[in-house]
Amino acid sequence: MTRDEFDRFCGTLPAVTNVVQWGNASVWKIGGKIFAICSNWGPGEAEKIGFKCSDLTYAILIEQDGIIPAPYLARAKWVQLVERDAMTDQDIEAYIREAYSIIKAKLTRAARKELGI
């Protein structure tokens, strides 16, 4: 999945915002809380997708080739795909949907109402 495809997909989720921060990373949020990131940290670096996981999903995914605990976010159960073929686009979309749901569920009832979700 390219960054453009990542951004297009994340943009289809309800009540999300996108900011570019941390050295040109595309950061997707709901209610001000991050659920997915696409970044590249240097010239010639491949784009890397990261997302929030459940505890079980995190434990399973970090055992897979091409997937690592996300730098700076692993303690919060985030993974990062470091190889383009670590996961199919369909699987990436499913995991991003789940990340979105996890973060959405952590929002207060008032915040969800304000966002219309």
**Can you give the pLDDT at residue 98?**
98
SS3 (DSSP) at 18: strand
What pTM does this model have?
Answer: 0.92
- pLDDT exceeds cutoff 80 at 16: yes
**Can you give the pLDDT at residue 42?**
58
- pLDDT exceeds cutoff 70 at 2: yes
| Tokens read off for 70 | 């996300």
**Can you give the pLDDT at residue 23?**
81
Tell me the per-residue pLDDT of 59-109, one tens digit each, with 9 for 90 and over: 999 999 999 999 999 999 999 999 889 999 999 999 999 999 999 999 999
What is the mean predicted confidence (pLDDT) over 17-23? 92
| Tokens read off for 54 | 């459940």
**Can you give the pLDDT at residue 41?**
60
The full set of domain ranges for the chain reads: 3-115
Q: Among 98, 65, 106, which Cα is nearest to 82's?
A: 65
**Can you give the pLDDT at residue 44?**
63
The CATH number of the domain covering residues in 3-115:
3.90.1150.30
Q: What is the mean pLDDT of the chain?
A: 93
